[in-house]
């Protein structure tokens, strides 16, 4: 059974099983829990109550516009514009002949959106910060609807937790929140899933399986975390102070 739009909570462990509450009224006893509930994982915070999550100095607005005329003006599948003073970018990803995904990244110490934002607030923020940029950007901002625009508040763990506890194992952002500059969030989650699936299929002891999974994945994740923090520092600098010929992604 698949449940959508549900809230999941971990109550505790008993007789080798994890007790999970679904939507505050359905209790499940699980032999294995694969937790993939995001960077601010409720299950992870229940287990590792001393963890420290900190806000990253960069947030994002992400949106999609369908406009065949604007999409036709984009010759490259991906474009990214940087403010000369640093801490502000606008990215454009052409998804199809009529659909464009766009996003902005901004230094939260210089640019601000209220926590109780509305679609109109997001549009005004975009106009205030990007209206005098490239005409293509202005056209995209003006032509977009903002009902489904997403504000991405970025957080990271000060220190990684173990990737498992008893019969609960974490994958993706629930195990290791990665800041957007790494461009490794989805890829890392897929690699977590693939590695864990292969190890579970071997049918070994669960704790041994989880230990091998963590050993296999953690070293790569630590590289991405280090690289992501370096790329964040670079993003905050004026363009003339940023290192030249640096790939804007994390890689091993």
Q: Is residue 235 part of a domain?
A: no
Count how many domains the chain has: 2
Query: 24 Cβ partners below 8 Å, 6+ apart?
Result: 7, 9
pLDDT score of 51 = 96
Average pLDDT over residues 207-235: 95
How far is Cα 188 from Cα 220, in angstroms, rounded to an integer? 9
Which domain does 123 fall in, by range?
57-152
Q: Is residue 183 part of a domain?
A: yes
pLDDT tens sequence across 34-89: 999 999 999 999 999 999 999 999 999 999 999 999 999 998 889 999 999 999 99
- Give the model confidence (pLDDT) of 85-130 as tens digits: 999 999 999 999 999 999 999 999 999 888 788 999 999 999 999 9
Domain identity same for 43 and 96: no
Residues 196 and 43: their CA atoms lie apart, in Å, by: 18
Residue 251 in any domain: the answer is no
pTM: 0.88
In sequence order, which residues have a C-beta less than 8 Å from that of residue 35 and are 6 or more positions away? 41, 43, 44, 168, 169, 170, 171, 174
The helix/strand/coil state of 180 is helix
What pLDDT shows up at residue 110?
A: 95
Radius of gyration (C-alpha) of the chain in whole angstroms: 21
Decide if 99 contacts 92 (C-beta within 8 A): no
Average pLDDT over residues 248-252: 69
Which three-class secondary structure state does DSSP give residue 165?
Answer: strand
């Amino acid at each position: 059974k698949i449940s959508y739009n549900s809230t999941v909570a971990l109550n505790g462990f008993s007789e080798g099983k994890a007790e999970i509450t679904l939507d505050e009224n359905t209790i499940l006893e699980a032999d294995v829990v694969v937790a993939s509930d995001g960077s601010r994982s409720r299950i992870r915070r229940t287990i590792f109550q001393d963890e420290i999550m900190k806000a990253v100095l960069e947030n994002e607005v992400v949106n999609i516009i369908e406009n065949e005329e604007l999409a036709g003006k984009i010759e490259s599948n991906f474009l990214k514009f940087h403010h000369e003073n640093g801490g502000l970018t606008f990215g454009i990803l052409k998804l199809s002949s009529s659909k464009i995904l766009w996003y902005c990244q901004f230094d939260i110490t210089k640019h601000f959106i209220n926590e109780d934002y509305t679609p109109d607030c997001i549009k005004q923020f975009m106009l205030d910060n990007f209206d005098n940029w490239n005409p293509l950007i202005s056209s995209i901002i003006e032509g977009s609807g903002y009902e489904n625009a997403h504000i991405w508040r970025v957080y990271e763990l000060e220190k990684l937790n173990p990737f498992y506890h008893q019969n609960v194992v974490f994958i993706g952002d629930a195990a290791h929140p990665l800041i957007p500059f790494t461009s490794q969030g989805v890829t890392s989650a897929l690699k977590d899933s693939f590695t864990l699936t292969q190890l579970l299929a071997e049918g070994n002891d669960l704790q041994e399986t989880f230990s091998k999974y963590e050993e296999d994945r953690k070293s790569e994740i630590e590289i991405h975390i280090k690289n992501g923090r370096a790329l964040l520092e670079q993003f905050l600098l004026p363009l003339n102070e940023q290192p030249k010929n640096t790939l804007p992604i994390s890689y091993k």
